[in-house]
Copies of this chain bind each other. A is one copy, B any other.
Amino acid sequence: MLIKYGVISGFNSLGSAKDYIVASSAAVLRRQQFLIRSLGGYTDQTNQRRMQEVKSMSGTALEADSESILRAISPILDPNRHKGQAGKIAVIGGCREYTGAPYFAAISALKIGADLSHVFCTKDAAPVIKGYSPELIVHPILEESYSISGLGDEERRRISSKILAEVDKWMERFDCLVVGPGLGRDPYLLECVSEIMNHARRSNVPIVIDGDGLFLVTNNIELISGYPLAVLTPNVNEYKRLVQKVLSCEVTDRDAFQLLQALAKRIGGVTILQKGKSDLISDGDIVKSVSIYGSPRRCGGQGDILSGSAMNPAVLGCIAASALLRKAASLAFENKKRSTLTSDIIECLGRSLEDISPAC
């Protein structure tokens, strides 16, 4: 849900994204028209009024008016719409070692209102992820080095092409890719995923990058550099590595906003959501902070909820996703205290959204 509204808000509020899109190809126009069409229920006037409201919320204050933004970009539920119009996302992740993270990201998207949620993972990971939930569409197509060991270069290339063709069949249908939750760091797999990202970029599909996806792009910054539809969601350590690599300096307590802004600018106007006690968000132009709600629990997996919810290229979507997760985490903590798990937070996403932005 946040996907499309975030993207459309992005078109309106982010200079860099807008310029890029205006300057770009027919494919972008198709996607833009599709996104606007997906607003369906609104008259042009209603839509324009809402977007005006959103823009006015940006303001100059550092702390974002995140609840108003979430309300403004939540789609109004309309019985005339059909399956898919509230969002179709794909998570690229899940390998022999990790299966929880891609599940958390994919199910979170559904829990905040998306219609369809796909996972592209390795053959080993697929049955496990399918087992977590019958709601997900899981494609067992990625390969790790160990599963192709003994094959020659040509055969490996043939397998890569097949994987890429398989993802390409679906690419145009997705409103957003989430690359990284539980992806692992296998070199062969990361090479394939780099190609998938290149294809997504050529099709102007927004890409949210988290977890091992951040490991990949930190070492291959050209994958997302200058792509305004990329959103990076680093935690403390991932952020440190990114700053070291891109800006060749260390992260200190001072000048946090300037550093984040400089980083986003240097990567060419991508949006960065830096997770922490307060979440900081920048696209290289503006910097915003979200510090409402939240919980002191730091159980592994919360970042995957965020990447599954953020799934849009613009600052507004990040602000909304941040507020949504922080409220859900605070609701879960109220009830479960220290025993709060990521699954408990996911169960509160619906109430969090409903409390902030009632469906009707």
Question: CB of A78 within 8 A of chain B?
Answer: yes
Question: CB of A150 within 8 A of chain B?
Answer: no
The proximity string for A residues 131-168 relative to B, scoring 1 for CB distances below 8 Å and 0 otherwise, is 11111111110000000000000000000000000000
Q: Which of B82, B127, B353 contacts A128 (CB 8 A)?
A: B127
Contact A83 B296 (CB under 8 A): no
Contact B235 A83 (CB under 8 A): yes
Q: Which of A274-301 contact B (CB under 8 A)?
A: 276-277, 294, 296-301
Q: Which of A114-139 contact B (CB under 8 A)?
A: 115-116, 124, 127-128, 130-139
Classify the interface of chain A: helix, strand, loop or mixed. Answer: loop
Contact A296 B81 (CB under 8 A): yes
CA distance A95 to B348 in the complex (A): 32
Chain B residue at minimum C-beta to C-beta distance from A103:
B134
Question: CB of A337 within 8 A of chain B?
Answer: yes
CA distance A359 to B338 in the complex (A): 6
CB neighbours of A80 from chain B (8 A): 277
Chain B residue at minimum C-beta to C-beta distance from A348:
B339
Number of interface residues of A (CB under 8 A): 71
Copies in the complex: 2
Contact A353 B341 (CB under 8 A): no
Question: CB of A233 within 8 A of chain B?
Answer: no
CA distance A80 to B136 in the complex (A): 34
Name the segment of A45-53, A104-112, A202-210 touching the other chain.
A104-112
Question: CB of A261 within 8 A of chain B?
Answer: no
Contact B343 A134 (CB under 8 A): yes
Contact B299 A339 (CB under 8 A): no
Contact A139 B97 (CB under 8 A): yes
Question: CB of A99 within 8 A of chain B?
Answer: yes
Q: Which of B74, B110, B127, B342 contacts A127 (CB 8 A)?
A: B127
Question: CB of A336 within 8 A of chain B?
Answer: yes
The proximity string for A residues 72-96 relative to B, scoring 1 for CB distances below 8 Å and 0 otherwise, is 0010011111111110000000001
CB neighbours of A81 from chain B (8 A): 296, 298
Contact A339 B350 (CB under 8 A): yes
**Closest Cβ–Cβ distance, residue A339 to chain B (whole Å):** 3
**Closest Cβ–Cβ distance, residue A299 to chain B (whole Å):** 6
CB neighbours of A83 from chain B (8 A): 235, 298-300, 302-303
For this complex, 5 residue pairs linking A to B, each with C-beta atoms less than 8 Å apart, are: A82-B235, A84-B300, A97-B140, A131-B131, A296-B360
- Residue ranges of A at the interface with B (Cβ–Cβ < 8 Å): 1, 74, 77-86, 96-101, 103-104, 110-113, 115-116, 124, 127-128, 130-140, 235-237, 276-277, 294, 296-303, 333, 336-343, 349-351, 353-354, 358-360
Q: Which 7 A-B pairs have the closest CB atoms?
A: A339-B350, A100-B134, A77-B296, A113-B338, A337-B359, A83-B298, A116-B300
